A and B are shown apart, each in its own frame.
Chain A
Amino acid sequence: MSKEFKGRPVVAGKIDKCEAVVSHNGVNTLATFQKTALLHDIPLIGKDYVIGSDQNNPDVYGKNLTGKVLCLPQTIGSTTGGMVIYTVAALKLAPAAMLFSQPIDSLAAAGVILADVWTDNSIVAVDSLGEDFLNAVKDGDKITVKEDGTVIVD
């Protein structure tokens, strides 16, 4: 049975039944993306997708995040965070969408806005979806996002 939630679109866009990866703790952007992103250009080692590399966050550690809908409370950690999100977007390694249960934080906002203004690869971002959203959504759920910030979890 599908559940519907309403948030605020920070970067509006549409997502059609895309797979969710859920973090119940704040996602440390640098720690999560750095390993795959940094190794991206290394022959034989580099990958064309991001594997979460934050040892402190088992919800994302070891999981493929590229093209997924990353559901999270907020991002945390280093202020390189927005730049990292922008970079993975420019390299086409980013999640398709980031859905925040809480109001978006300054680093994540910077990242999705930079991706929107300075690349052709926007990351759809909706915030303030509420704790119920994060309690309801599970890894692998199919997520639909509408431009007005409506999120449907199947």
Chain B
Amino acid sequence: MNENFTYKMKLTDDEVAILHGSKGETMAKIMKTLVLYGDAFGAEKFVSVAGNKGHLVTSFGISVLKPVFDITQELIDAGLKVDETFTVDPRPIDYTNVKCNPLQKLIFNKILYGMQDSYEAQLKKLGIKSEKSFTCACYLDEVGNTPKKGDILSWAESSAVVYANSVIGARCNRNSGIIELFGSILGKVPAFDLVTDEGRKAKWIIEVKTTKIPEAQVLGSAIGMKVMEDVPFVKGLDKWIGTELNDATKAYLKDFGAATASNGAVGLYHIENLTPEAVEMGEDLIVENAKTYVIDDAELERVYKNYPVVWKDKNATPKLCFIGCPHLSFEQLGEWAERIDEECKKQGQKTVQIRTVVTSAPEVLERFKKENKAAYNKFLLRGVNLSYICPLMYMNNPLCGGDTSNVITCSNKLRTYTTARYFTTDDITKIIVKGGI
């Protein structure tokens, strides 16, 4: 197998043997795929992933991805699995907490996610950590897939990769679905780009010159659209969010990073005086002749006002609001409960007037219900649903996310991939309580 295959990477004898079929034909195809992948980026060698868990982006048994499930079945049939276990992105359906009408369920069950059960059975065979291990924010403490600084990862999920690289200081490329699974099974990834010292240097300097703390999702969006896949070094943000990586700053950077990754293709950012490598190396992380992007209040306003609205009726009353893409942290859940409760009091409303779903990881929701009952009860009192769902996957159903579904969100990732209309935290809080834009 692969005897006539030519490549540039320098492989060990064991790796060459795998390429030639020592561990079976399927493993040889995995190796060939990863060698081609490494060659495309000038990788010289493979490096071992650290003793931590994988994370897969594919959580949904969507029928059209049958070719992907054919590959996973081929891996299972070949006896392959991830030794160190893995977590996966959120499930696409939660009928208990995000109720659907019979027609919507029909589309979900029979057409869109008709392979959910069979795919989850595949994930068990491949080594998923547990039945609760479905979240995009796998690095949260409650989930237990938190790498250490310097760990090499084979992850996908853009928001998780950018968080692990930037906030934790782990090393992971923006791998695609399937590739991340291959790397986790092989236990190695090609060393290029964000896995290397050179690839982690910043080609952009971002100067934040706002007069108040920038909305994380809009700041990330602006930077993502400007720098695309390059690494930005952000100056001036520590003035607003501080120099300590605490729960609040981690949550801010989680949402900021998700926007940089989805509105552009950012896999790593450095925040001056805050993120680990920026603290250690400072401006030595910036390449010579780096470009500069200045962000002030007017620039953020320009970005916010220019998001397209693709609703059929742009003046329609919203029907549904999603908060929590990426999934909220424990602390963010508490903050949202307070925020909504206060706005209800301010507007004299008993409950939110627009159906609102707040999403987080299963283990985080469990902890929240146990340890912050006061805030949990505020959600219940104000008529807000809590769910572990992936809003993006939910909106793939044309009856749930079409241009007359009129979904609003404070997630720039959800806005980018769906018909959802974006509003800032303050604006969306007022809208869901008032019942209109």
Residues of A within 8 A of B (CB): 10, 26, 28, 30-31, 34, 37-42, 45, 55-56, 74-83, 86-87, 90-91, 104-107, 109-111, 113-114, 116-119
Select one of A56, A90, A117 contacting B29, CB under 8 A: A117
Q: Which residues of A contact B68 (CB under 8 A)?
A: 83, 86-87
Q: Which residues of B contact A80 (CB under 8 A)?
A: 57-58, 156, 176-177
- Smallest CB–CB gap between B49 and chain A, Å? 16
- Smallest CB–CB gap between A109 and chain B, Å? 4
Q: Residue B310 at the A interface, CB < 8 A? A: yes
Residues of B within 8 A of A (CB): 29, 32-33, 36-37, 40-41, 57-58, 62-65, 67-68, 70-71, 107, 111-112, 156-158, 161, 173-180, 193, 228-229, 262, 264-265, 308, 310, 396, 398, 416-417, 419
Do the beta carbons of B265 and A91 come within 8 Å of each other? Answer: no
Q: Known contacts A87-B68, A110-B179, A118-B33; decide if A77 and B41 are in contact (CB<8 Å).
A: no
Max count, chain A CB within 10 A of own CB: residue among B57, B70, B229: B229
Q: Which single residue of chain B is at the shortest CB-CB distance from A111?
A: B176
Do the beta carbons of B177 and A106 come within 8 Å of each other? Answer: no
Do the beta carbons of A26 and B179 come within 8 Å of each other? Answer: no
Do the beta carbons of A117 and B32 come within 8 Å of each other? Answer: yes
Top 10 A-B pairs ranked by shortest CB distance?
A: A82-B176, A83-B177, A90-B67, A110-B176, A79-B156, A76-B265, A109-B40, A110-B179, A113-B36, A79-B158
- Smallest CB–CB gap between B170 and chain A, Å? 15
- Smallest CB–CB gap between A115 and chain B, Å? 10
Interface of B is mostly: helix
A76 CA to B63 CA in the complex, in Å?
A: 24
Do the beta carbons of A78 and B417 come within 8 Å of each other? Answer: yes
Do the beta carbons of A83 and B58 come within 8 Å of each other? Answer: yes
- Smallest CB–CB gap between A5 and chain B, Å? 19
Max count, chain B CB within 10 A of own CB: residue among A75, A78, A79: A79
Do the beta carbons of A78 and B40 come within 8 Å of each other? Answer: no
Do the beta carbons of B33 and A74 come within 8 Å of each other? Answer: no
Q: Which single residue of chain A is at the shortest CB-CB distance from B161?
A: A79
Do the beta carbons of A38 and B64 come within 8 Å of each other? Answer: yes
Do the beta carbons of A28 and B416 come within 8 Å of each other? Answer: yes
A30 CA to B263 CA in the complex, in Å?
A: 12
Do the beta carbons of A81 and B176 come within 8 Å of each other? Answer: yes
Q: Which single residue of chain B is at the shortest CB-CB distance from A103?
A: B41
Q: Which residues of B contact A116 (CB under 8 A)?
A: 36
A28 CA to B175 CA in the complex, in Å?
A: 15
Q: Which residues of A contact B228 (CB under 8 A)?
A: 26, 74, 76
Q: Known contacts A38-B64, A74-B228; decide if A55 and B310 are in contact (CB<8 Å).
A: yes
A87 CA to B67 CA in the complex, in Å?
A: 6
A151 CA to B419 CA in the complex, in Å?
A: 37
Do the beta carbons of B33 and A107 come within 8 Å of each other? Answer: no
Q: Known contacts A28-B416, A110-B179; decide if A105 and B64 are in contact (CB<8 Å).
A: no
A42 CA to B67 CA in the complex, in Å?
A: 17
Do the beta carbons of B64 and A109 come within 8 Å of each other? Answer: no
Select one of A10, A26, A34, A90 contacting B40, CB under 8 A: A10
Do the beta carbons of B179 and A34 come within 8 Å of each other? Answer: no
Do the beta carbons of A37 and B57 come within 8 Å of each other? Answer: no
Q: Known contacts A83-B58, A106-B41; decide if A76 and B36 are in contact (CB<8 Å).
A: no
A30 CA to B418 CA in the complex, in Å?
A: 10
- Smallest CB–CB gap between A74 and chain B, Å? 7
Max count, chain B CB within 10 A of own CB: residue among A45, A74, A86: A86
- Smallest CB–CB gap between B156 and chain A, Å? 4
Do the beta carbons of A91 and B64 come within 8 Å of each other? Answer: yes
Do the beta carbons of A113 and B156 come within 8 Å of each other? Answer: no
The 6 listed contacts between A and B (C-beta, < 8 Å) are A31-B417, A106-B193, A107-B176, A109-B40, A110-B37, A114-B178
- Smallest CB–CB gap between B291 and chain A, Å? 15
Q: Which residues of B contact A30 (CB under 8 A)?
A: 417
Q: Known contacts A82-B176, A106-B41, A106-B176; decide if A91 and B417 are in contact (CB<8 Å).
A: no
Do the beta carbons of A38 and B33 come within 8 Å of each other? Answer: no
Do the beta carbons of A117 and B310 come within 8 Å of each other? Answer: no
- Smallest CB–CB gap between B410 and chain A, Å? 18
Do the beta carbons of A34 and B417 come within 8 Å of each other? Answer: yes
Q: Which residues of B contact A104 (CB under 8 A)?
A: 40
Q: Which residues of A contact B111 (CB under 8 A)?
A: 41-42
Q: Known contacts A31-B417, A42-B111, A76-B228; decide if A82 and B178 are in contact (CB<8 Å).
A: yes
Do the beta carbons of A77 and B37 come within 8 Å of each other? Answer: no
Select one of B65, B193, B398 contacting A87, CB under 8 A: B65
Q: Which residues of B contact A119 (CB under 8 A)?
A: 67
A40 CA to B396 CA in the complex, in Å?
A: 12
